[in-house]
Amino acid sequence: MSALISLKDVCKSFGGIVVADHISIDIQRGEILGLIGPNGAGKTSLFNLISGVYPADSGSISVSGQSLDGLNLHQRARLGVARTWQHMRLFASMSVLDNMLVAPRDYPGEKISNILFRPKQTAAANRAMHERGMGILKRMNLQAIADSSVNDITFGQQKLVGLARALMNDGECLLLDEPMAGVEGNAYETMKSIVREEAASGRAVCVVEHNVSFIKDLCNTAVFMASGKILERGSVDSLLASQTLADLYFGA
């Protein structure tokens, strides 16, 4: 089965700093790949390269066989690359539900031509989108805060909303940047089960995380990055057991 996300020999440097050093990696449908490594290893940079925050210096990235080269951030998102951010980046002036409703790739009610010439279908489509948003919130047990401002909810809830928003994209790729950082208890369990469900429904999921137990809980396999290079790929247990990797992570 051809990989959903495929990177071949991707390189990127800023000034003298190499953030991606000949990275080649495949992520399959249904896979939950963990991305671990010390700070500055290039994990978030890899997400930025895949989602298109900046272009790679060389190499190629493709999703579902389609090359992403030359496409910018919003074009890649429209092809199905969804991501969350380390610092959440929720839209601060809006409610939770509004954050969700801005998220789908197309919202019929925004096009003036739709509103003027197809009012009934547009209203129906808007309602459907509304229900979809509420549906995702219900899965996370967040329907109660749908109308609350994102500034008024707890940190854990904010992180879940960030994930929910990315899910509205309905893309085949899900890149999660430290989704669990600072999250505990119910929110943690909810997030875990949601991510598992999404992978099971055929998405390729890649997770950057420092929370080792989350990686162990959730990821089938993991990749260890340091200094922009992929050092090793394998089962989470074997990676965590490796002494050399532990040294890189914690010391030296």
> Number of residues in contact with another protein, rule: CB under 8 A?
39
Contact status: 73 vs another protein (CB under 8 A): yes
Convert residues 95-134 into a mask of x (bound to another protein by CB under 8 A) and - (unbound): x-xxx-xxx-x-x-xx-x--x-------x--xx--x----
Distance CA 121, CA 207 (A): 38
Are 38 and 227 in contact, with CB atoms under 8 Å apart?
no
Single-letter amino acid code for the residue at 52: G
DSSP 8-state assignment for residue 5 = E
DSSP 8-state assignment for residue 153 = S
DSSP 8-state assignment for residue 145 = G
Convert residues 144-173 into a mask of x (bound to another protein by CB under 8 A) and - (unbound): --xx-----------------x--xx----
Convert residues 10-39 into a mask of x (bound to another protein by CB under 8 A) and - (unbound): ------------------------------
Partner residues linked to 205 by β-bridges:
32, 174
Contact status: 138 vs another protein (CB under 8 A): no
Nearest to 50 by CA among 2, 104, 7: 7
Sign of CA pseudo-dihedral 45, 95, 210, 82 = negative
How near is the Cβ of 77 to another protein at its closest, in Å?
Answer: 4
Contact status: 248 vs another protein (CB under 8 A): no
Are 10 and 60 in contact, with CB atoms under 8 Å apart?
yes
The span of 67-75, 205-213, 225-233, 241-249 binding another protein (CB under 8 A) equals 67-75
Return residues touching another protein (CB under 8 A): 51, 53, 58, 72-74, 77-78, 82-83, 85, 89-95, 97-99, 101-103, 105, 107, 109-110, 112, 115, 123, 126-127, 130, 146-147, 165, 168-169
